[in-house]
Amino acid sequence: MIRTMTETTSAGRQTAMDETGAADKKAWATTWLGALGALAMTSCCVLPLVLVSFGVTGVFIAQLGVLYQYKWITFALSAACIGYGFYKAYRPIPTEACADGTCARPINRKLMRSILWIATAIVTVAMIFPYLTPYLLSY
């Protein structure tokens, strides 16, 4: 009888751990989608300048300017992913969720938050860059 209760309890913990693991994977997925969205934002404006400054040349760099027409779509997608990633990274963990020991291996929220802040900075620079370019090129 005691063994059956223990198995049930451990099975319940395993289910709770699986749900926590799925939530961790979802949080990391949104973080990486936000980072990829930030890189997509740079593909039309900032990326060609960075590639040329590193000495990478080719016809394909001029073709990256065509992606400028999709700037608002990539901005909306990356802002949505970054926003959801911030929600997952900064929301408080309820104490009831950790009461049974399922939070024994928490996700690294500090790394997740730093990735999200870097992605936010990249998106901000990519959005402001076309307006700053005339001033930068005038010097």
Could you read off the pLDDT of 67-109 as tens digits, one per residue? 778 888 888 988 998 998 898 888 877 777 677 766 655 667 8
Q: How many CA atoms lie within 13 A of 56 on its CB side?
A: 9
Cα 101 to chain center, whole Å? 28
What is residue 53's predicted lDDT score, i.e. its pLDDT? 80
d(CA 128, CA 122): 10
Residues 89, 95, 99, 100: is their CA dihedral positive or negative? negative
**Please, which residues have CB within 8 angstroms of residue 113's CB and are 6 or more apart in sequence?**
89, 90
Quickly list DSSP for 65-93.
GGGGGGHHHHHHHHHHHHHHHHHHHHSPP
For 3-28, write each residue's pLDDT tens digit.
Answer: 333 334 444 444 444 455 666 788 78
Q: Tens digit of pLDDT for each residue in 114-128? A: 999 999 998 898 888
- Mean pLDDT confidence for 56-76: 80
Q: What is the mean pLDDT of the chain?
A: 76
| Residue 82 CB burial class (10 angstroms; 0-12, 13-18, ≥19) | buried
